[in-house]
Structure 1
Amino acid sequence: MSTGESTIRNEPMQIDDITVIDKAKVKKAVTAAALGNAMEWFDFGVYGFVAYALGKVFFPEASPSVQTIAALATFSVPFLVRPLGGVFFGVMGDKFGRQKVLSATIILMAISTFCIGLIPSYESIGILAPILLLLCKLAQGFSVGGEYTGAAVFVAEFAPDRRRGFLSSWLDFGSIIGFVSGAGVVVLLSSIVGEAQFLEWGWRVPFFLAAPLGLIGLYLRHAAEETPAFTEQLERMEKEDQDAVGSAPRISFKEIVSKYWRSLLVCVGIVLVTNVTYYMLLTYMPTYLSHNLHYSEDHGVLIIIVVMVGMLFVQPFVGMASDRIGRRPFIAAGSLGLLVAAIPAFHLITSGNTGWIFVGLLLLAVLLNCLIGVMASTLPAMFPTRVRYSALASAFNISVIIAGVTPTLAAWLVETTGDLMMPAYYLMVVAAIGLITAYFMHETANKPMRGDTPNAGSRREARELLQEQYDHIEASVDGLDVEINDMQDKLADLERRKQALIDRHPDLV
């Protein structure tokens, strides 16, 4: 049974209070979330791999440097509307359910991405072309505002407590698959049709693929069931208040901030260090390699593809290991690694040797794996069911505004300073934020989601979790007994001091 955080239990916890999740439903939920996320990130991520082409198509009168910055800026501006999408879809997700909202986000993403492929060039319609491109990107940003957090909540609420890290890691596995697929399509098309034809019409093809991919993702998500935690939350609300069902959550955003401010700050810190590294490596690096290091576009993208394929093999193992040793060690290790290795990694990347470039990128990729391997399992566990989607989406997308400007800001810093190490300094700053966050965050591995009773993968595991809960309660009672005894000793001492003072006053004796 999933309970609200404020619910007070007056009876002993029983085996039936632990939700045993059907393995087939877990597999279906993870598949729907991960593959659907891959579809969305194919759409969103392919933009980074054709940014050089879009700069020439939509900003032809600018210099090559300004074209690149303008195209990447069009990538970054939609992050400004992500908090709006996060708040909107978050409230809808807590009101109507996770599954329905995830179906809506993938429809919006598919339509807006498909429309990018239909936009005429600047030469055809002038300034209207980049304006239409920006509108489509804003629609994408609004959609993604509810996508990742909703998918993370969806998987986390289905996952047994002991396997939440491993199962949730497949969500970002899907994200990487989407990026790899987008990059692969771009390389394949440009190699087949040639650079001239790719600039003329070939860049549109990846965006047109959004339509069939969106239909596949919609089918998968529509077929998935609502999460047990949300379903049981509705049942609990029905018992408490029939009018509560279908109404807005009975807690305002102001109350969320005042009550869960620590969780919100930790969420912001984790998202910053993870997503800045993510966009630096997977979105900005192709442009950095081609524009600043003068590699061909295809060569730079191919190196990134190989690196991302390597990340795919590491990702599930990080999630699995976090179920054993915890999430905090990986956040700390990834952040510390970035702080120490960012400059050496970029020295390798700028060495001019393809082998060393690959090693430098792979080093950053492994550190990124440490972060994204645990993010999807860590963040949802910080908030109770009734506000989980909206609170997480709000905090996540506010911090993503900063992370989203990474490609644009990194390109601008390199252009204005002429220092190829600027991306490394950028990563070191967010690494420091990650270390501070790791220090203050609470461990969430192998624990029930906040305000929820445990989830188990089998009846046997449910019995083990129940015993662990009993052991935890016994330890807590013993700790309280010690505190009570200490307080009694302090009270007795205060009584003695009080009596000593009274004895010295003639009118109080």
Structure 2
Amino acid sequence: MIVKAQETSNIRVILAGLVGNVIEWYDFALYGYFATVIGQQFFPSSNPSVSLIAAFGAFAVGFLVRPFGGLLFGRIADLLGRKQALILTLLAMAIPTVLMACMPNYSRIGIAAPIIIVLLRIIQGLSVGGEYTTSIVYLVENAPDQRRGFFAIWGLWGAVLGILLASAIASLLANILDPQQLDIWGWRVPFALGSLVALIGLLIRRGLVTDVCTEEAIDPVQQVFGKYRMQVFRLFLLNIGGGVGFYAAFVYVVSYVKEIDMVPERIALNINTVSMAILLILYPLTALLSDRIGRKPLLIAGGGMLMFGSIPLFQLIHTTDPLRIFFGQLGFVIALATLSGGLNVANVELMPKAVRCTGLAFAYNTSMGIFGGTTPLIATWLIQGSGNPISPAYWLAGSASITLFTSIFWVRETRLSCLS
């Protein structure tokens, strides 16, 4: 059992919870945004679509190993303390971020280049598997009872801030560099800058109060697959819609607008950056709303908006008009912000304390690995195979329906529940 050795200030709790997610998702987003050039340099093919699919395939590998990272770092967090796990995940994250900045491409080292890229995605995926869920558990466990939703959202807020920083820097480079400069060396600059964020995060987390283990705990991994397997499965289902929606609307959409709509990359990145800035504003507001009216109303409202809105919103995005693209993405912003306001804190409140980090990490990361992280690959394949540019919307609507029906029929209200 893990308890706090002493109280930690609210500001330090929030900073510690969000900073690791900034660097984790900054790196992940950069890979998604520069998937086209990474595909060309590390997975060359005479068919550009094949290169893009290969690049997104390596991206998906990082997601597929996340459940194993969740079990590894979740177990550390449940048995040895949240601080130890959070420091280790941040250190593991710094490795692929720094190396991506100086990796030689296929023309220089041949087949070793794509192999190393895949290995870096695996390391990054293992790290993310423990980072995000452990951070929101840390935030909720250190929050006042009436403000758990507000505290929990800062883990996700940090993740989106990392993606926003990646989008903003990528947009800046697209505006000041010509396409040839961006393809040759410009795409590497944001990865190099990520090492600075990692250093800041490490300094903040090293100053956290160390958790104290008061008794011998039963192996949480064993309990996740035994006593608490149905609670884990419930969270697996609950997170599907949000994961697919997020990666469709904020990672894949940049490549979609550029490759399918034939809109300049600069415009695609600008729209994405503005949309995520709005998302950052809405997150704390919907989290505060969940602390007032409960988690379940937001889960149902957000899941319903994603399920019924995916097709019309994708139809808005499928155009060469930047304003219509923006309104389409804004619709996804509102739906995802509503869903996340209740989902983030419910993830922690629905998981029993004995396996909170391990169980949540495995459920969330398995859901993201199978559904969320594969979304760019599946969306690209659907369009390639069907010729229908709206086909990714059907994948998103179907995924959102799982979250909606799980919220309605298998989730109780947890706003007033006791964490212990």
Tell whether the structures are fold-level matches, with TM greater than 0.5: yes
Q: Determine the structure 2 residue equivalent to 1:7.
A: none
Question: Does 1:134 find its partner at 2:100?
Answer: no
Give 1:399 deviation, angstroms. Answer: 1.4
Structural mapping, 1:418-457, within 5 Å: 418-439=387-408, 440-449=410-419, 452=420
Question: Does 1:323 find its partner at 2:323?
Answer: no
Question: Does 1:337 find its partner at 2:305?
Answer: yes
Give 1:254 deviation, angstroms. Answer: 4.4
* Conserved? CA contact 2:262–2:320, under 8 Å: no
Where 2:271 maps in the other structure, the secondary structure is helix
Q: Determine the structure 1 residue equivalent to 2:191.
A: 207
Q: Determine the structure 2 residue equivalent to 1:63.
A: 47
Q: Can you give the 5+ residue segments of structure 1 that lack an aligned partner in the other structure?
A: 5-18, 238-243, 453-509
* Conserved? CA contact 1:58–1:121, under 8 Å: yes
Q: Which amino acid aligns with 2:207?
A: A
Structural mapping, 1:40-439, within 5 Å: 40-226=24-210, 231=212, 234-235=213-214, 237=215, 244=216, 249-251=217-219, 253-402=221-370, 403-439=372-408
Distance in 1 between the 2:206 and 2:55 partners? 34
Q: Which runs of 4+ in 1 moved over 4 A?
A: none
Give 1:61 deviation, angstroms. Answer: 2.8
Where 1:444 maps in the other structure, the secondary structure is coil
* Conserved? CA contact 2:101–2:188, under 8 Å: yes
Per-residue CA deviation, residues 191-250 of structure 1 (Å, 9 max, x unaligned), is: 223211111111111111222111101111111224xxx64xx33x2xxxxxx2xxxx31
Distance in 2 between the 1:77 and 1:165 partners? 31
Distance in 1 between the 2:307 and 2:25 partners? 28
Give 1:351 deviation, angstroms. Answer: 3.5
* Conserved? CA contact 2:37–2:183, under 8 Å: yes
Give 1:34 deviation, angstroms. Answer: 0.9
> Mean alpha-carbon deviation: is it higher for 31-40 or for 86-95?
31-40
Where 1:379 maps in the other structure, the secondary structure is helix
* Conserved? CA contact 1:93–1:150, under 8 Å: yes
Q: Which amino acid aligns with 2:169?
A: V
Name the CA shift for 1:146/1:370 in 2 (closer, same or farther; >3 Å): same
Give 1:315 deviation, angstroms. Answer: 0.6
Q: Which amino acid aligns with 2:393?
A: A
Q: Can you give the 5+ residue segments of structure 2 that lack an aligned partner in the other structure?
A: none
Give 1:26 deviation, angstroms. Answer: 2.2
> Mean alpha-carbon deviation: is it higher for 291-300 or for 376-385?
376-385
* Conserved? CA contact 2:57–2:377, under 8 Å: yes
Distance in 1 between the 2:163 and 2:224 partners? 34
Distance in 1 between the 2:19 and 2:124 partners? 18
Q: Which amino acid aligns with 2:399?
A: V
Give 1:285 deviation, angstroms. Answer: 0.3
Distance in 2 between the 1:317 and 1:397 partners? 26
Give 1:91 deviation, angstroms. Answer: 0.8
Distance in 2 between the 1:256 and 1:84 partners? 13
Q: Which amino acid aligns with 1:437?
A: T
Q: Percent identity, aligned pairs only? A: 35
Q: Determine the structure 2 residue equivalent to 1:498.
A: none
Where 1:224 maps in the other structure, the secondary structure is coil
Give 1:109 deviation, angstroms. Answer: 0.5
Distance in 1 between the 2:223 and 2:200 partners? 39
Q: Which amino acid aligns with 1:149?
A: T
Aligned pairs, number = 417
Where 2:297 maps in the other structure, the secondary structure is helix
Give 1:3 deviation, angstroms. Answer: 9.9
TM-score with structure 1 setting the length: 0.79
Distance in 2 between the 1:204 and 1:411 partners? 24
Where 1:61 maps in the other structure, the secondary structure is coil
Distance in 2 between the 1:194 and 1:108 partners? 33
Name the CA shift for 1:202/1:257 in 2 (closer, same or farther; >3 Å): same
> Mean alpha-carbon deviation: is it higher for 397-406 or for 276-285?
397-406
Distance in 2 between the 1:101 and 1:54 partners? 31
Give 1:251 deviation, angstroms. Answer: 4.1
Distance in 2 between the 1:281 and 1:189 partners? 22
| Structure having the higher Rg | 1
Distance in 1 between the 2:187 and 2:109 partners? 18
Distance in 1 between the 2:303 and 2:351 partners? 24
Distance in 1 between the 2:232 and 2:162 partners? 28
Per-residue CA deviation, residues 274-326 of structure 1 (Å, 9 max, x unaligned), is: 11111111110000000111011111111111111111111100000000111
Query: Root-mean-square deviation (CA), in Å?
Result: 1.8
> Mean alpha-carbon deviation: is it higher for 310-319 or for 267-276?
267-276
* Conserved? CA contact 1:29–1:225, under 8 Å: no
